[in-house]
A and B are shown apart, each in its own frame.
Chain A
Amino acid sequence: MAEANYSPLPIEQRRPLSPHIQIYRWSATMVVSIFHRATGVALYVGTLLLTVYLLAAAGGGVAFADVSRFFGSLIGQVILFGYTFALMLHVCGGLRHAVWEAARGFEPGARNALAWGSLIGAVVLTALAWAGAYLL
């Protein structure tokens, strides 16, 4: 798809292109692949949460009180929950990729099990992390 628009040739003379995503029926592996990239970008921005928290802790009382109040508020908790789920989804996606990079798990049953397994794993790990945060 990348070079198609730059070709000087009329469309009937261009070389055939591989089909793009609209052509395919959605599959679990496609969804988790997109999730992996989306959560990666979200976590990239989310590092600012850690930066702000660490700076406030290093800075002092007023800044830390403000940051603690924000993270404790409803919107802060929702953001932190989203960050946790994105992190767990990305970690489980990384494990899925580790299996695939070892050239295993490409059969239809196995690849769908890996895709669904990484989603379920992320839900379970997120629940564990938040249960731990409330119990500790």
Chain B
Amino acid sequence: MPKPDSIVQTPRARVKYLGVARSGTETLWAIRLTSFALLPLTIAFVVIVAMLGKADLASARALLGAPLVAILMILFVLASVWHMAEGMRSVIADYIRHQHMRELALMANFCFAAGVGLVCVFAVLRLSFVQ
């Protein structure tokens, strides 16, 4: 008795990405999950940025170093970079046909999102713990 997968999909069809994929909803779920989280976090972010509008260095440091503000900023940054990496991945998959260019773009996308996330979190933590 063959396994169910080999009934609906020959090995060649599997290699050519034809037929039932049986996976791939992770990306959709990640986008949904992060956008759900980002709705309240974006409101918090916009309020914080509005409060920073005319702030000098001392008051900006005091505001960004406050525990609640720092936690909200870190959550906003992490959810954002995850969300934007997933979104850009689908843009790259849609528009870049050449396989090697697509792979390069996907790697650059990951590095950009991870870099932005790490630098922002580092800066917020430094504002919280080093005055």
Query: Are A58 and B116 interface neighbours, CB within 8 A?
Result: no
Does B119 have its Cβ within 8 Å of any Cβ on chain A?
yes
| A51 to B77 alpha-carbon distance, docked (Å) | 10
User: Main secondary structure on chain A at its contact with chain B?
Assistant: helix
Does B126 have its Cβ within 8 Å of any Cβ on chain A?
yes
Query: Are B127 and A40 interface neighbours, CB within 8 A?
Result: no
Does B88 have its Cβ within 8 Å of any Cβ on chain A?
yes
Partner of A129, one of B50, B73, B119: B50
Does B97 have its Cβ within 8 Å of any Cβ on chain A?
yes
Does A113 have its Cβ within 8 Å of any Cβ on chain B?
no
Query: Are B61 and A91 interface neighbours, CB within 8 A?
Result: no
Query: Are A50 and B120 interface neighbours, CB within 8 A?
Result: yes
Does A75 have its Cβ within 8 Å of any Cβ on chain B?
no
| A65 to B56 alpha-carbon distance, docked (Å) | 9
CB-defined contacts of B57 to chain A, threshold 8 Å: 57, 60-61, 64-65
Chain B 43-64 interface 0/1 with A at a Cβ cutoff of 8 Å (1 = within): 0001101111100110011001
Among residues of A, the one whose C-beta sits closest to the C-beta of B128 is A58
- Least Cβ distance of A129 to chain B in Å? 5
Query: Are A94 and B35 interface neighbours, CB within 8 A?
Result: yes
Query: Are A44 and B88 interface neighbours, CB within 8 A?
Result: yes
Query: Are A43 and B123 interface neighbours, CB within 8 A?
Result: no
Does A101 have its Cβ within 8 Å of any Cβ on chain B?
yes
Does A133 have its Cβ within 8 Å of any Cβ on chain B?
yes
Q: Which of A91-136 contact B (CB under 8 A)?
A: 91, 94-95, 97-98, 101, 129, 132-134, 136
Partner of B64, one of A47, A54, A95: A54
* Of B5-13, B17-25, B79-87, B99-107, the one with at least 4 CB within 8 A of chain A: B79-87
| A116 to B63 alpha-carbon distance, docked (Å) | 37
Query: Are B80 and A47 interface neighbours, CB within 8 A?
Result: yes
Query: Are B49 and A133 interface neighbours, CB within 8 A?
Result: yes
Query: Are A2 and B97 interface neighbours, CB within 8 A?
Result: yes
User: Using a CB–CB distance below 8 Å, which chain B residues touch chain A?
Assistant: 32, 35, 38-39, 42, 46-47, 49-53, 56-57, 60-61, 64, 73, 77, 80-81, 84, 87-88, 91, 97, 112, 116, 119-120, 122-124, 126-127, 130
Q: Nearest 10 A-B pairs (CB), nearest first?
A: A54-B123, A133-B50, A58-B123, A133-B53, A58-B126, A132-B50, A64-B57, A44-B84, A94-B35, A47-B116
